[in-house]
Structure 1
């Protein structure tokens, strides 16, 4: 059910999964308890070695893009201590002579950079820094979506449980869907809408969120149900019919549209900054099979 057998997987049924979901989608990231929960349950050594494995591949590919021999870098401390690699776009540079008597405009260019904490980083120090940086990513996500920290959630993993609550705003008003019966279309709609890829206004919100998070504007942000969830989305259409009368808007729900599938497809994928994981939402999605309409995200 997951894209990668070695990817980070979270199960909402577990205590660890419950804490991670609440920390990312519901709780105030400024709270020290939230920081500690993420550091202990997500930014830990087990996950670190998964990221390190994947990052080694990305590092090699990046060096190859520079058209240089990667082997000449592999033995260096700078390469092995690398925390992140990428480009900085240099634009609008000029050389000014005395009192602007002559201004020479330089062409735009990209500067390859390598970021590291120090030449001999300790795993715990790196994870502490990643955790702190990622708190800001959650803050940016919450600020953009308008997460309601005062919402009273139903019983954990019950039929009434939901993913998150958002304060009603112009942003939530933009989270609307067309009526599409096709399962592929349903999946594409929720992925592009929650992933802020649907229309210029949403794309602008995404840029603001990435800027707030101190992430490059070309960073990946995904809030997706993958292909494996199309079975349930074919049986339940996304419902934001109340958006036409915004003062009565309830949020995003699954509304029964046919005979429920016998399979349990409830996997969501989320990626922002250093967060990159699959999560089994269990009853937040599965409970939709037993009711005519199931709340997923509430507008409070």
Structure 2
């Protein structure tokens, strides 16, 4: 099976390619140097040339705050780019998987979101990711949409790396303590995505590591496991204003995974432990 993965230089795309190779699949990782997502002709000709059996579309405009002021670029990447790739997939008869986000929900309440819950994104980034989902659903008869959250991996920037960097110079940090979610290790997520793309169990899924915490609790666990002596002060969202609204509730139900015979991802604390070992070995 030949699988093309967009966003190969990002956290998730990198691990998806590695995982597929480990399972003996013919993996083609692509990035901006291969083609411009926002140019239909480039997208179409590249995909027709590669002619994959499946496409996992990880590439996205993910600068949540910047998106509020850079709307055209955000829309072009997340909506137009997704549309062009989905069209090309349809043309060659390839399976298609679109990686989406918890930001498609309104982030309110305390219950885990279900796949069937209403999608009412608050920020522009979430709006474009939802528009990308809708484009996929309108274009294709069969598709995978996988909404993910709080991602950390070996390749690229993330919260864990930021905390470890700050720990070098700070003895005390203020971290938001009223936003709840599940940190997700791209190594674990990649395994699920590669398993999923080899099936015909199409549909929309929610995927993150098991367990829930706040960003402040996540930071505390990072410092505890890496043996850094840093005091974490949990502050409110209002005390840490950002250009785009952040969801206070990013809890997501994994029932759809279970119902379709997929394994839940391991607990986030153990995932963090394995990630810290991976970072040391770099």
TM-score (structure 1 length as normaliser): 0.26
Report which of the two structures shows the higher radius of gyration computed on alpha carbons. Answer: 1
